[in-house]
Amino acid sequence: ATKQFLLVANYVGGSIAALPILEKGQLGAPTGKIQHVGAGTHPRQTEPHAHFINALPNGDILAVDLGLDQVLRYQLTAQGELIPDSIAFHQTAQAAGPRHYIANEKGDFIYVLNELNSTIEVVAVSNGKATLVQTISTLPEGYEGEGNCAAIKIHPNGKFLYASNRKDHHSIVVYRIHPEGTLTLVEHESTQGETPRDFEIDPTGQILLVANQATGNILSFKIDATTGALTATGFMAEVPTPVCIKFL
C-alpha cells in the first residue's frame, strides 16, 4: 500500500499525512492525517515536531517526532488511512530530539538519530516490539561542543553506518555495523565545510557526497570497501545552500 501513497511529516504543525499518488503522478487530497500531541523538556520541544516518516520492510509506518522524543508506529490501510498504535513504539532518552531513523535491510534493527543530544539509539525490532540495545555518541569522546545531527545512512553493503554532525563539529561519523546490530566507531571525518545537512552514498557504495549548507559546497569522499573510512577526493562544487542530495 505504501507505494500508492506519499507519506509526509509536517515539522512546524507536528502532524503526519498520507496522500494518494494518482495515475499520472499527481497527488490527491490527504486520505489520512494524524496530529501529534504533547511536548518535551528541551526548549525546542514546546510542541510536537514530526520530522521524518517512512515504512519498514514489513509495511509498518514509523514517524519520528523531535518534539515528543518518540518514534510512533502506524498501519496504512489500502484506502490510505493511518491507524496509530495506542502507545509510542519507541521512547528515546529525554530531550534527545529524534530527527531521523534508518532501518537495516531486514528491518530487524532501526537506528534513531537524535539531533538534540548527538546520539544514535540502536533499536531491535522483533515480534512487533522495539528494544533499545545501544546508545552511542556521534561526537568524539570528551568533545564538549554540540553536534546537532542531521542525516543518517547505511552503506549499500549493510556493513557501515554514517551520520552527519553540524553546529560545532561539521563531520561525518563512521561506524561498523556488527551482525547483532550494534555499532563500533570507525572515525570522524571533517566535511571540509560547515553544516553538513545531508549526504548520500552512490549506488555502487564507492563515493559519499556531502552537502555543506552554510558554506555552499558539495564535496566527495572515497569510501574504503574494507573499513568504511572516508578519504577526500579533492572534488568540490559550489552550490548555494545545498540541503539534500539524491542519486537518480
pLDDT in tens, 9-41: 999 999 999 999 999 999 999 999 999 999 999
Domain presence at residue 20: yes
pTM for the model stands at 0.96
- Cell digits for 108? 530487524
CATH number of the domain encompassing residue 187: 2.120.10.30
Is-contact 6 25, C-beta < 8 A?
Answer: no
Domain of residue 113: give its range. Answer: 1-137
Q: Return all residues near 191 (Cβ < 8 A) that are at least 6 apart.
A: 164, 170, 171, 172, 199, 210, 212, 219
Strand, coil or helix: 2:
helix
Domain presence at residue 93: yes
The total domain count for the chain is 2
Domain stops at, among 137, 169, 188: 137
CATH number of the domain encompassing residue 6: 2.130.10.10
Domain presence at residue 217: yes
As a whole number of angstroms, the distance between CA 126 and CA 108 comes to 6
Domain stops at, among 113, 137, 161: 137
DSSP state of 214: T
DSSP state of 59: S
Residue among 145, 161, 74 at smallest CA distance from 112:
161
In this structure, are 124 and 187 located in the same domain?
no
Q: Return all residues near 240 (Cβ < 8 A) that are at least 6 apart.
A: 216
Is-contact 218 245, C-beta < 8 A?
Answer: yes
In this structure, are 87 and 160 located in the same domain?
no
pLDDT in tens, 187-233: 999 999 999 999 999 999 999 999 999 999 999 999 999 999 999 99
In this structure, are 128 and 162 located in the same domain?
no
In this structure, are 16 and 120 located in the same domain?
yes
